[in-house]
Structure 1
Amino acid sequence: MNNKIDKEIKDRIQQWLGAEYDNDTVAKVQNLVDSNEETELIDAFYKELAFGTGGLRGVMGVGSNRINKYTIGKATQGLANYLKSQFPDQEVKVAVGYDCRNNSQQLGHLVADVFSANGLHVYLFKELRPTPMLSFAVRHFGCQGGVMLTASHNPKEYNGYKAYWNDGGQLVAPHDKNVIDEVNAIRSVTAIKFERDHTKITLVDEDFDTRYIEETKKLSIHPEAVSAQKDLKIIFSPIHGTGIIVPKMLSAWGFTNVQVVEEQMTPDGNFPTVVYPNPEEEEAMTMAKQKGQKLDADVVMATDPDADRVGLAVKNRKGEIQLLNGNQIGSLLIYYVLSSKKAKGELRDSDFIVKTIVTSNLMTDIGSSFGVKHYDTLTGFKFIGEVMTKLEEKENYLVGGEESYGFLVGDLVRDKDAVNACAFIAEMAAYFKTQGKTVFEVLLELYENYGFYQEKLISLTKKGKAGAEEIKQMMADLRANPPQSLGGIKVKEIRDYSTSVAHVLADGTKTSIDLPKSDVLQFITDDGDVISARPSGTEPKIKFYCSVKEDLASRDAYEQVLAKLEDKVKRIMADIVKD
């Protein structure tokens, strides 16, 4: 074995060549060794998979840092051990779901096997379903936990494992770290119980869809607008994923003119028509957008493989189908919900909205204008779910979202829900249309009333062990030598979430940040621009976010102000993004 591979990695490789692993796994590892695949061996064995903002996520293959039957089995055994320790005097129940990805169904059944072998009662989805339905199932069946097999919007070579607690939200502190401790305590795969106990497994069939759809429909704010605009032209694509349930949801709400992108309706883990199955990427929505343009659609929507993110395109002032970003979609949903509830006299003092720290402050401005309090969380919808659970029965969650295309209206689940969001986007468009407005025109109204916010995200991909070390060094360099100005504008404040300290540079004032510690840096300029840097918790990327703002005197000045803001963002990003 190559001498460049350190002892810790060699020890892990030797362990995976042991008799406790199946012949196929051993043969694949041995082939990597015999072929001297140094980079692959290092990347596959240099660490154990760990929970990030979205649980376990990684490339499928053999190795301790890969998604396979043993890493998934080990995670499930650790979770089973922890659940049994936390709920010792009751039958522990868990829900298990899976999406369209290659191996998701097999891994879902493997998770059910391990749970049942440990005496837990499993509600196993009979077929692939969206992630939010797993969250709904945990709450509906009174489970203590749950697991969803998905890598969300990652490339096709990935898969993943989202673990849920009894509130229907993904694991947060202290449970996430405690589960990892339980997982790490498993020293041999012989400690993993793989033999299924069929008496402990209940299959969840398509009848469950009706319950989920009916409960979601109860959240509708303006059913009369849907009735009036039932023929609203809607184009939808699930991008080969579990969003195939969305047309059924839209039909149940009363929409009769939903047309799908047929080429993308068949679930397929190879995602043959897109480069990345991520509606954040313009390319992924190309086919839906083209069909929308051809048919003069009012709304064009597409969901990611596990249907917890949704992309949206609408007609702009020129009649062209224009993509909106996650900040714009979330702001529109918040405005729709709050303005509608105010008009109905349904806003309460206990109402609140939630967003993440890298999401547009336009959402905050909208909430404040309606007298509705807001909460900021770390990046990851699990933190929004955590706020919802903490404030349950004290305050009333209305709507929340994050710039990465994840939204939730109402508190039916504890995760972002693209199926829910698609229904509300369609209802929102119908309601605005009854008022003689397009969705894009309402967006311009928001800019006129609250300021024209322009955001941009730049992601740098750094794969493998070397990439992880490079990302770590980039963050260290930013902390050691923080920019004093960005885009020619002086930096006023630096917020370091790893130390929970906000530092005002002019007078040296330091205040504490009331959020859990996280590897995030934010720079606030004299103009109020917000620039953030953070390593992704789910992908081998470091992400840079920029949000700038300018007054919009009238919608006729939209193009001019947009060009000005885009130039400003470009200058700022050139100063901070060093690839």
Structure 2
Amino acid sequence: MDIKKEILDKVNVWLSPLFDNQTQEAVKEMMTSSPKELEDSFYKNLEFGTGGMRGIMGPGTNRINKYTLGKATQGLSNYLKKVFTGEETKVAIAYDCRNNSDTLAKVVADVFSANGIKVFLFTDLRPTPELSFAVRHLSCHAGIVLTASHNPPEYNGYKVYWQDGGQLVPPQDGEIISIIEALEYDQINFNANENLIEYIDNDIDKAFLGASLGAATFNTPQEAKDALKVVFTPLHGTSVKLIPDLLEDAGYSNVHIVNEQAVPDGNFPTVKSPNPEEPEALSMAIELANQTDADIVVGTDPDSDRLGVAVRNSQGIMTLLNGNQTMMLMTHFLLEEWKKQGKLTGNQFIGSTIVSTPMLMELATDYGVQCKVGLTGFKWIAKMIVDFPELQFIGGGEESFGYMVGDFVRDKDAVTSTLLLCEMAAQAKANASSLYQELLKLYTKYGFYKEYLISLTKKGMDGAQEIKQMMIDLRESPLKEINGERVVMVEDYQASTAKNMFTGEEEALTLPKSNVLIYYLEDGTKICARPSGTEPKIKFYFSVNDTLDKVENAREVETILDHKIRNIIEEMNLI
């Protein structure tokens, strides 16, 4: 195949002595044996998305390697020194179980230290929420975690946190990206100053676990804790470093760990994908739950910021909850606890995102708190805490299996959320109920909301163009009717407009621009389309709802809602 000149120009730079021999040889190998891979490795620069910079490991400008991460770190170093002139600038660095995460973390530490920046580097893998905690605990100006979350084994990534403990948001992200893009590779300083690198571990663990205990324990009687049977799997990831200790400290002794998945391993040998959104990922844990008659299953992704949950349904069968259901249960529990303690004064808020369940708004209204909704990604929920200092943050989540309890961590936190779920399950069981029954009660009170997600994978340069065209088509030829229901409103977050499809009137959206489209139908159905910011995918989110008069009719109503979702998907030609 013919390779474009602009790609060959980039390739030639990577064949210069500026790059090590191993890198040069790998590039030469692609030139002769894998020209398509060469093109994909160099056709663009790796970009920051909703969860930082994430990509396949290997040589090239569109890959995760010491040079692309070195360039990002050099740019961030330049920015930190510019913004915090005259201060001793400090950063914290953590990494997960992925292949090369430890060596890449050291490269990042070397570049920071070479630029005169103090580095706190974890001695071993740690969960992402602990890094967010460490940034504020150590009074750092920024933080980095090396992780690709739930992506396949060939991926790695680079998340940047600011001094509030949250991920980068505007304007810092744009300013830093501009500096990074203006750099040449020969401007990266890899010459470490080891005197500026301090290794951290147990002291931060103790502080983080103490904060988690304080945020997620609610006077559950010890006999209720003893009666709860828990199955936990870290899916070969970092949470095994903290969650077993946290549950033990909280008084939960009846915990079964999936031994085959307990050892950190970046190859994730027992799962197709270490993604708790995928039912297959928790299959071994559910099997163990059936053997041990467990009440609840919790599985976390490799960097332990997201969690999948399974509970027993009305027939006693282990059933997976989706992220919206878990979020609703946790938020309701927190609101109820705050209410019992007399802490709801009207100056509190919960947080969510535009692609998550509208049911959360109903919950907030009932408890007299605000529900603030941001763009997809927990960085926007963390930003809410900064933007509204006059309000207390109770908790918040998004549909992609992430939740944040309180504000001591400023990112989704599967460690603390796991303990919170155990508290909820233990109390429910002690009251002759279950998390599943509690969810059905919420549906009878606020309406039965059912959500569903379709992710279409479109890899490489051609896939990126296909995703782009799909969004163009949805904008230029908007759907007017779906499944017999008229479209009443279309929100376009890229154009910052909300258009009434009956009158043609438009209102301005106040959230930052983002490549997201949301359709609202006459019957309350909500359909959202957005390209992923971290994976080669376009995602479609569906939310439908109906009334549920009593718990006993839940299966019948759910069948109706499932049928409605299926019809919508077929009509939109997404299967």
TM-score by length of 1: 0.98
Shift of residue 228 of structure 1? 3.5
Shift of residue 486 of structure 1? 1.3
User: For 2:196, which of 200, 221, 226 is the aligned residue?
Assistant: 200
Please tell me whether the aligned partners of residues 47 and 53 of structure 2 are also in contact (alpha carbons under 8 angstroms).
yes
Q: Tell me if 1:403 matches 2:434.
A: no
Q: Which residue of 2 aligns with 1:186?
A: 183
Please tell me whether the aligned partners of residues 278 and 284 of structure 1 are also in contact (alpha carbons under 8 angstroms).
yes
The 2-side partners of 1:524 and 1:414 are apart by 31
- Aligned partner of residue 223 in structure 1, secondary structure: coil
Write out aligned runs for 1:293-442 (5 A).
293-392=290-389, 394-442=390-438
Give a deviation string over 1:544-571, Cα, whole Å, max 9, x none: 0000001011111111111110000011
Please tell me whether the aligned partners of residues 385 and 414 of structure 1 are also in contact (alpha carbons under 8 angstroms).
yes
Q: Tell me if 1:139 matches 2:136.
A: yes
Q: Which residue of 2 aligns with 1:173?
A: 170
Q: Which residue of 2 aligns with 1:47?
A: 44
User: For 1:151, which of 144, 148, 167 is the aligned residue?
Assistant: 148
Q: Which residue of 1 aligns with 2:467?
A: 471
Q: Which residue of 1 aligns with 2:256?
A: 259
- Aligned partner of residue 160 in structure 1, secondary structure: strand
The 2-side partners of 1:408 and 1:431 are apart by 20
User: For 2:207, which of 211, 233, 249 is the aligned residue?
Assistant: 211
Shift of residue 221 of structure 1? 4.7
- Aligned partner of residue 224 in structure 1, secondary structure: coil
User: For 2:20, which of 16, 22, 39 is the aligned residue?
Assistant: 22
Q: Residue 539 of structure 1 aligns to which amino acid in structure 2? A: E
Shift of residue 273 of structure 1? 0.2
Q: Residue 179 of structure 2 aligns to which amino acid in structure 1? A: E
The 2-side partners of 1:239 and 1:485 are apart by 42
Q: Residue 380 of structure 1 aligns to which amino acid in structure 2? A: G
- Aligned partner of residue 416 in structure 2, secondary structure: helix
Please tell me whether the aligned partners of residues 544 and 577 of structure 1 are also in contact (alpha carbons under 8 angstroms).
no
User: For 1:121, which of 118, 139, 151 is the aligned residue?
Assistant: 118
Shift of residue 90 of structure 1? 0.2
Please tell me whether the aligned partners of residues 402 and 412 of structure 2 are also in contact (alpha carbons under 8 angstroms).
yes
Give a deviation string over 1:307-350, Cα, whole Å, max 9, x none: 00000000110011110000000000010000121122121221
User: For 1:458, which of 440, 454, 477 is the aligned residue?
Assistant: 454
The 1-side partners of 2:300 and 2:139 are apart by 28
Shift of residue 433 of structure 1? 2.2
Shift of residue 206 of structure 1? 2.4
Q: Identity over aligned residues, as a percent?
A: 48
* Pair 227,84 (structure 1): closer, same or farther in 2 beyond 3 Å: farther
The 2-side partners of 1:411 and 1:38 are apart by 48
Give a deviation string over 1:205-231, Cα, whole Å, max 9, x none: 223211100111112351234554234
Q: Tell me if 1:273 matches 2:296.
A: no
User: For 1:68, which of 54, 57, 65 is the aligned residue?
Assistant: 65
The 2-side partners of 1:226 and 1:280 are apart by 32
Please tell me whether the aligned partners of residues 225 and 427 of structure 1 are also in contact (alpha carbons under 8 angstroms).
no
- RMSD (CA atoms): 1.1
Please tell me whether the aligned partners of residues 96 and 124 of structure 1 are also in contact (alpha carbons under 8 angstroms).
yes
- Aligned partner of residue 511 in structure 1, secondary structure: strand
Shift of residue 14 of structure 1? 0.9
The 2-side partners of 1:390 and 1:561 are apart by 40
Unmatched 5+ stretches in structure 1? none
Give a deviation string over 1:267-326, Cα, whole Å, max 9, x none: 000000000000000000100111112211111000000000000000110011110000
Please tell me whether the aligned partners of residues 227 and 426 of structure 2 are also in contact (alpha carbons under 8 angstroms).
no
The 1-side partners of 2:222 and 2:53 are apart by 40
The 2-side partners of 1:215 and 1:116 are apart by 30
Q: Tell me if 1:285 matches 2:285.
A: no
Shift of residue 360 of structure 1? 0.3
User: For 2:103, which of 69, 89, 106 is the aligned residue?
Assistant: 106
Q: Which residue of 2 aligns with 1:94?
A: 91
How many corresponding residue pairs? 574
Structure 1 consecutive aligned stretches of length 4 or more whose deviation exceeds 4 Å: none
Worse-superposed segment, 287-296 or 46-55: 287-296
- Aligned partner of residue 179 in structure 1, secondary structure: helix
The 1-side partners of 2:220 and 2:377 are apart by 34
Give a deviation string over 1:452-489, Cα, whole Å, max 9, x none: 11110000000011100100000001111111111221
Please tell me whether the aligned partners of residues 226 and 253 of structure 1 are also in contact (alpha carbons under 8 angstroms).
no
Please tell me whether the aligned partners of residues 448 and 553 of structure 1 are also in contact (alpha carbons under 8 angstroms).
yes
Please tell me whether the aligned partners of residues 226 and 427 of structure 1 are also in contact (alpha carbons under 8 angstroms).
no
- Aligned partner of residue 218 in structure 1, secondary structure: helix
The 2-side partners of 1:141 and 1:230 are apart by 36
Q: Residue 184 of structure 1 aligns to which amino acid in structure 2? A: E
User: For 2:493, which of 497, 504, 516 is the aligned residue?
Assistant: 497
Please tell me whether the aligned partners of residues 489 and 499 of structure 2 are also in contact (alpha carbons under 8 angstroms).
yes
Please tell me whether the aligned partners of residues 352 and 397 of structure 2 are also in contact (alpha carbons under 8 angstroms).
yes
Shift of residue 500 of structure 1? 0.8
The 2-side partners of 1:539 and 1:382 are apart by 17
The 2-side partners of 1:63 and 1:348 are apart by 54
User: For 2:246, which of 243, 249, 260 is the aligned residue?
Assistant: 249
Unmatched 5+ stretches in structure 2? none
